[in-house]
Amino acid sequence: MVVTRLMRARSPCAWRKASSDLVRSVMSLEQIEFEVPDDLRHLIEAQLEQLSAAEQRELEKASIVGAVFSERLIGSSEDIRSHSSVDLYEDLSRRHHIVKWAGTHSFPDGSTTERYEFAHVLYRQVLYDRQLPARRARLHRQVGERLAAMYERRIEDVVPELAYHFEQAGDWPRAIEFLQQAADLAVRRYAYRQAGAMLARALELVIHLPETGRIRTEPQLLATLAALRRETFDLRAIETYDRMR
């Protein structure tokens, strides 16, 4: 019943266009925000209520990562050592069809983890929405820090995701830093439109910085964005230079 309704769903979504051509950008800077119809939300909530409290908590944590996730990013050290998280997701996949196996993923240190994805994006959205903002922010920070540690030697692989998670955590300095890195990576890959979008997003976040940080960071971002727009014959370069005066 729920699966049938989900397959028929035509929910409006808002894309934050930023880095569609970059590695893993679909699940980071281009997060989709769905308006879940009330009748579908009630059906999904009823299905979730059939799960144990522990299963619901794990799925809520998974929803923070995105539509696709791995237990290495959200499980506790004890869970990872005992493989209890993997067992839980395998069980949810077989019995409840809320998540499904999405392959094995290798990390830069050579370790591997099983990846899972939500059977439908609306499951992820309902699980994400039901959490209080403070808990979501805390979990986004946890995921961001764990991801940064795992990819310390290959940070470029995950800069869009890091920017997203730290922005959602309210960690404005790190969100801006990774947006700048993602923009630089986009330029090197000739993805100029995406680079401009990331720099523009970083400028929107500058308002959250303390005054000293804002005074130091905003001119740098404006200069970089203005130069990029000038080199790509973007007429918005004029207004960007005007903001620098």
Q: Are 105 and 113 in contact (CB under 8 A)?
A: yes
Q: Are 166 and 174 in contact (CB under 8 A)?
A: yes
* CA 12 to mean position of chain CA atoms: 19
At 235, is the secondary structure helix, strand, or coil?
coil
Residue 77: C-alpha distances to residues 71, 102, 163, 216, 226 (Å): 10, 22, 24, 39, 45
- Provide the mean pLDDT of the chain: 84
User: pLDDT band at 107, cuts 50/70/90?
Assistant: confident
pLDDT at 45 over 90: yes
pLDDT single digits (tens) 55-66: 999 999 999 999
- Residue 25 has a pLDDT of 45
Lowest-confidence segment of 86-90, 103-107, 129-133, 153-157 by average pLDDT: 86-90
pLDDT at 192 over 90: yes
Tokens for 227?
Answer: 């130069």
Residue 141: C-alpha distances to residues 41, 67, 183 (Å): 27, 18, 21
- Residue 215 has a pLDDT of 94
